[in-house]
Amino acid sequence: MLKRRIVICDDHQVVIEGLKMILQSNPNLEVVGSFLDASEFREFWQIHNANIDVVLMDAHLKNDVSGLELRNSISDNSNKAYWVLFSSFVDKYLAVQAKKIGFQACISKEIPAARLIQLLEHGSPVFYSYPDLIDRPGIRLIESVLEGLSNLTKTEKIVLNKLKEGKRSKESADELNVSVHTFETHKKNIFRKLNVNSTTELMSLIDDYKFIS
């Protein structure tokens, strides 16, 4: 059996060294690269991506770069690597975001070593999260919200931020130098895309889903 070639990207050297010790205890796994920041990983990926089987990436990297942003910026159409997001804290929002942009798994750093080895050695035929969050009630709603947010125009995102400030439409319209009618039209489009019927519902949605920004 060929060894599964793994690349680790984490902003803490002690975490990288610990992972190497755990993973290389398995004869079927081989760590072929480890990186502390996004730029180092990008350089390696551009040259060696065809030879990588697994990418184990921290959710938070150096210089305020997130693992989600890095994954979203990388095309791997010619590569079938198994992408795993690794985080100190995993909730259903992070899991859904990870799934949406191309990770095959989203796992907490509290995962047992034996389970981590099993996942990286064999992968999973469906999206995997640890702890198990992805199939719980509310996941489809989160996916719907994320889809709606991705469909907002640049102007609608600006209007959404104005709505979050709780100002009256006239005041917000004046600040954006548009008519109240135009502001209200953008607001209706936001309601439709996020499947809400009022500003009250929108505020409740924003309170429930803190990732809306």
- Which of 104, 130, 156 is the last residue before a domain boundary? 130
Q: Read off the pLDDT of each residue in 170-196 and give the average, rounded to a whole number.
A: 91
Same domain, residue pair 198 and 124: no
- Which of 103, 130, 157 is the last residue before a domain boundary? 130
- Which of 130, 160, 195 is the last residue before a domain boundary? 130
Alpha helices by DSSP H, listed for 102-165, are 113-122, 139-150, 154-164
The pLDDT value recorded for residue 83 is 95
**pTM score of the predicted model:** 0.68
Q: Using an 8 Å Cβ cutoff, are 58 and 10 in contact?
A: yes
Same domain, residue pair 110 and 19: yes
Same domain, residue pair 148 and 78: no
Q: Which SS3 state, helix, strand or coil, does residue 7 take?
A: strand
Same domain, residue pair 117 and 145: no
- 9-66 pLDDT, tens digit per residue, is 999 999 999 999 999 889 999 999 999 989 999 999 989 888 899 999 999 888 778 8
Both tokens assigned to 19 = 């992972």
Same domain, residue pair 162 and 85: no
- Counted domains in the chain: 2
- Domain annotation covers residue 213: no
Same domain, residue pair 169 and 126: no
Q: What is the CATH number of the domain that holds 175?
A: 1.10.10.10
The pLDDT value recorded for residue 2 is 81
Give me the long-range contacts of 209-213 (CB less than 8 A, separation at least 24): 209/93, 209/142, 209/145, 210/93, 211/93, 211/97, 212/145, 212/149, 212/160
Domain extent, residue 155, equals 139-208
* Position 77 pLDDT exceeds 60: no
Distance between CA atoms of residues 56 and 118, nearest Å: 14
Burial-class residue 188 by CB neighbours within 10 Å (0-12, 13-18, 19+).
Answer: exposed
